[in-house]
Structures are given as structure tokens and as C-alpha cells.
A and B are shown apart, each in its own frame.
Chain A
Amino acid sequence: MVLNQISVFLENKAGRLADATAAIAGAGVNVRAISIADTADFGILRVIVDDPVKALDALARSGFTTRTADVLSLEIADRPGALAEVLAAFKETGVNIEYLYASLEKNADKAVVIFKVEDVRRGLEIARQRGLTQAGSF
């Protein structure tokens, strides 16, 4: 399914990540997936939360610069080659992946993977056609 991801601009300063997660926690919002991309002096924190509106509001009140983006979340079987099959399907159909990361879902035989694709509608369509199970609502 398509989820709303929140990105937070973090400069490389001690405690900045802690501050951002504390802001989300303070609003009583639960983080379901998290990833950090970093460069030499800043990072981008990406989170999937159970209440994006509340999280965005809390982050803004704490002075963070944020953006939202639609991402695809797919359940991938926990066996060798499962992720490769999904990626092959995207490759064949020309769905470009910008980045992906795994979520924190507690599911023994499935992994929930978050895909940031160029064209999220097309990605969703391919996933449906190929019978890839979509992760349920967080």
C-alpha cells in the first residue's frame, strides 16, 4: 500500500536525532519504520509513523524542517531470493527505485520493506499484478 513518509532534515550535530525522535515520542506517535541517509554534514531521517499529521505538527513545533512523500510498503517473504524477485519485477517494468529500507514490523515470516519509487502509482500497480502482498496498515 501507499504510505505517507516523513523526512526530517538533520544537521550533523550531537543529539539532533535524539531531539527529532523525542519530538515524535512527545506527541504519542509510534514509529513503524526508520532510516537515515547521511552525508558529511547533514542527514535525512525518514520515518513511517502511525499518525503522520501529529508527528509533522510536533516536529514543526520543535523547529525541524520536514517534507512528506508517498512511498510503497510491501511484504516480502522471509526467504532467500524474495527481495530479488520484487526488484526484478520493478526492473522489467521500468519502475525506478530511489531508495528502500526495512520496517520494524514484528512478523516472523515476512519482512515489510518501504520502497521510494519514482512513480508510486505505477509501482503499486506492478506489485498488485505480480501478487506481491502489501503490508497492512500500520
Chain B
Amino acid sequence: MKYWDERVETMGRAELEAIQLERLRATAARALLTPFYRPLLEKAGVTGPESIRTLADISKLPFTSKDDLRRAYPFGLLASPRSDLVRLHASSGTTGTPTVIYQTRGDLERWTDYMARSLTAAGATSEDVFQNMMTYGLFTGGLGLHQGAERVGMMVIPAGPGNVGRQLKFMKDFGTTAVHATPSFMLHFHSKMAEEGYSRSDLVLKRAFCGAEPYSEDTRAKIEGLLGIDVYNSYGLSEMNGPGLAFECVHKCGMHVWEDGFLLEVIDPDTGLPVPDGEKGELVFTILCREAMPLLRYRTHDISSVIPGKCACGRTHRRIARITGRTDDMLIVNGVNVFPSQIEEVLMRMPEVGTNWLIVVSKDGALDRLTVKTEVQPSMFTDDSRPLNALKDRVKEKLQACISIGARVELHEPGSLPVSEGKAKRVVDERPKF
């Protein structure tokens, strides 16, 4: 099967844009139902669907930032009665308040459908046995692909991440043909294969869907070569439901954004004005397929560009190039988004550690390693290593609770790290650049 929804995936641009306009108007109307957007929209002169006459009128609508989601926490962006909600997902915010996304049953249906469309575009069928090696839980990556793969009719093994030995056993015993993982986990997985006593001939693996972290075309080629599989890129963010926003088709030449459900703008991050197709800018999305929580012109901070021209697959939905960077200081560590401000907040709440700290992200084999270095207060030093070790464990626990991934913690002598005044460099990213 080549398409999941051939009519929509291949429709002419005029028809697609007509659908977008209709849905944008409906979305603006739903946004007016939320305590967060109502005053903003009224101030902008948007009083109902009739205020949006053409797609260009989107410029009347305000941008939405991650901070806005925090300000509206927990229910300020809700456009549906709470009793209609069936799901909540969350991603870590830039500080302690998470950003939360709600779904009604209809929202979940539509998300699942976009996911099924994505997997089908990448060549998956109901014949596939799909092992999902991505994190489940509040993170949208695990459940998103899980739901979509079930809808396509694959047998889904909800393995979750880690434990390469068990992953390999399942793959061999159940004939796994497709997997979902971060690119760094795919490389880590391959590096452990021989050690776990498996060879490529034990597996019938055909394809991998990779997302959640940026990586290079060279790395894709490396994974494909090492494992003898096809690797397809996935792009999503929880604010736009998660995965199922943009996905590669079998031609692997950029990710098709499902434009009937998500209105894409690429802007100059400084001026907020659109840049032409082919030029790099910040991706901005308006979700057109969610009733519970409308989000208008959400600033992703991801840098990419629209790939001009038609794709050989026949789909008319535009493609975006792989993400090349961020306009903010967000770090992606083994697929998990981490803001330096989250780490700072944890450290500043602990009087035993000093005001100077440094985040180092490096590679440990194929995986990323996050190290948090912090000075200890001189008063913590007592000729006894036990209180220092206990402090270290406490910092680790607090960080884990806040950023949901394990960090190595190093305690340093007072005065040994760069001082906090001025523009001290707080993050050192030692990973290779793309």
C-alpha cells in the first residue's frame, strides 16, 4: 500500500489550502474559547472565524511560545470541557512547570491517523512486526508510534528503550521488521549486538524510524550500512501532538508535513516575517486537527527549511529538511529535551552547592552523556567524604526528578569553575556538530 489516505495526500495545492483555510478559521474560533487566547485575539481584532478571510490572515494571529504554555498551566489553553479529555501528555518546560497537551477522543483518533499515514509513507504495512524502542509515558514519542502502528495493523512490541539483550531476543524470536528509536540508540544497539551474542543474520529487520534528536545524513548512512536497513526520519513535538507531524516517505528526501492538519510557516526568528521556500528559518506551526487545545503559530525554535519542488512519491504536502539547529539554548540528550535553566533551577534551590556550575554534554560510545559540574560551598567540606557523597547523590536525584534523565554529577572545589557574572559559558557541548 502506497498511501494511507491517497485523496488527501495527493490533492492539489488549491484544494489543500482551501481545507487549511476552513480549519484555520475553526481553530481561531476554538482559540477564542480559551482564557489564554481570548484577550489576545480580541486585542488583535479577531472576533470569530469571519476575521480570517485568507491564509495570509494568519499574520493577524499571535505567536505562541513555550512560556505561554507555562503561563496558561494547567487549563488556560483548554477549549473543551474537561470531561471530554481522554489523554494528557507533557514535556519538560524550560523550568519546573511542565508543558501539558490535552487530547479528546477525536484528537487522539486524528493523531493516530496522521501517525498511520506517516508509517505507511515510509513503507510500513500490516505485515510488519514493530518493536517500539522509544520511551513511553508522558513523552509522546512512544505512544504516538505505538498507536499508529496498531492502526496500520502491525504487531506492536512495546519494548521501550534500553536493555539491548532483551531487544535482540524479541527481535529474533518474534521476527521484528521495523523499529523506532533515537539514532544514537540505533548506533548503541549495533555496537552491543556482537557482545550480546547476535549477528545480523539472526534478525529480519528492514526499517527503522528515527526521531527525537537531530543527527546528520552521514549518521543515517552509517546506521543503514551497519544494520542493512532503511532509516526514515520523523519530526514532531508534543505541542503538535508529537510524532506524526512530519515524516519521510520511502524516497528519503525530506519530511512531508501533513499540511491538512498542521499549518507550517518558516520565519526569520528575529523579525517574525516569513522566509521563502528553500531558505532557512524557524519552523512555526498552527495545529488544525486538535479541538481540546488549539495552538496558534507555535514557535518551535527548530531551524529548517522547506524543500522546494515536488516529491517523486506524488504527495503534494511540502517537505522540510532535517533540523539543523535551535534558536534557543535547548539541549537534546539521548532524545530528551533539556534546558540549562532547568538544571540551574535545581542547583539554585540547594544551598550546599555553589553558584557556579557547568553543563557538559559529551559522547559515551554512541550515546550522549550529560555531566553537571557544580562547586560545593566551602562549609560543606568537613574532612569527611560521606557528606559530599551524600550531597552528590541528592543533586543527582533532584536532577533526575526535574529533567527525567540521569546526569553525572561532579563536585568541584569552590572557585574552580567559571564565575557566574556576565556571560559565563554554562554549557559545553562536546558532541560532533552536523
Report if A and B associate in a common complex: yes
A residues bordering B, Cβ < 8 Å? 5, 7, 9-11, 13, 37, 39, 41-42, 44, 46, 63-67, 69, 98, 116
Q: Which A residue's beta carbon lies closest to that of B385?
A: A39
Number of residues of chain B lying within 8 A (CB) of chain A: 16
Q: Which of B378, B383, B410, B412 contacts A44 (CB 8 A)?
A: B383
Interfacial residues of chain B within 347-391, with CB under 8 A of chain A in the complex:
376, 378, 381-385, 388-389
Contacts of A98 in B (CB 8 A): 384
B residues bordering A, Cβ < 8 Å? 376, 378, 381-385, 388-389, 410-416
Contacts of B378 in A (CB 8 A): 65
> In the complex, are the beta carbons of A65 and B389 less than 8 A apart?
no
Q: Which A residue's beta carbon lies closest to that of B377?
A: A65
> In the complex, are the beta carbons of A44 and B411 less than 8 A apart?
no
> In the complex, are the beta carbons of A65 and B413 less than 8 A apart?
yes
> In the complex, are the beta carbons of A7 and B389 less than 8 A apart?
no
Shortest CB-to-CB span from B356 to chain A, Å, is 13
Contacts of A63 in B (CB 8 A): 413, 415-416
Q: Which of B382, B385, B389, B416 contacts A11 (CB 8 A)?
A: B416
Contacts of B410 in A (CB 8 A): 11, 41
Top 4 A-B pairs ranked by shortest CB distance? A7-B383, A9-B381, A67-B383, A65-B378
Q: Which A residue's beta carbon lies closest to that of B411?
A: A42
- Bound-state Cα–Cα, A63 to B414, Å: 8
Q: Which of A13, A41, A42, A69 contacts B383 (CB 8 A)?
A: A69
Contacts of A67 in B (CB 8 A): 381-383
> In the complex, are the beta carbons of A65 and B414 less than 8 A apart?
yes
- Bound-state Cα–Cα, A46 to B103, Å: 60
Contacts of A66 in B (CB 8 A): 381
> In the complex, are the beta carbons of B383 and A39 less than 8 A apart?
no
Shortest CB-to-CB span from B392 to chain A, Å, is 8
Q: A9-B381, A39-B385, A41-B411 are in contact. List 10 more A-B contacts (CB 8 A).
A: A9-B376, A9-B413, A11-B411, A13-B416, A39-B388, A44-B383, A44-B385, A46-B383, A65-B381, A67-B382
Shortest CB-to-CB span from A100 to chain B, Å, is 14
Known contacts being A39-B388, A39-B389, is A11 close to B413, with CB within 8 Å? yes
Shortest CB-to-CB span from B320 to chain A, Å, is 42
Shortest CB-to-CB span from A105 to chain B, Å, is 22
- Bound-state Cα–Cα, A65 to B410, Å: 17
- Bound-state Cα–Cα, A48 to B413, Å: 21
Contacts of B412 in A (CB 8 A): 11, 42
Q: Which A residue's beta carbon lies closest to that of B416?
A: A11
Max chain A C-beta neighbours (<10 A), residue from B376, B383, B385, B389: B383
Q: Which B residue's beta carbon lies closest to that of A6?
A: B383
Shortest CB-to-CB span from A70 to chain B, Å, is 11
- Bound-state Cα–Cα, A133 to B376, Å: 40
Contacts of B385 in A (CB 8 A): 37, 39, 42, 44
Shortest CB-to-CB span from B115 to chain A, Å, is 43
- Bound-state Cα–Cα, A63 to B413, Å: 9
- Bound-state Cα–Cα, A76 to B412, Å: 37
Shortest CB-to-CB span from A14 to chain B, Å, is 13
Contacts of B413 in A (CB 8 A): 9-11, 42, 63-65
Contacts of A69 in B (CB 8 A): 383
- Bound-state Cα–Cα, A10 to B414, Å: 10
Shortest CB-to-CB span from B374 to chain A, Å, is 11
Q: Which B residue's beta carbon lies closest to that of A7?
A: B383
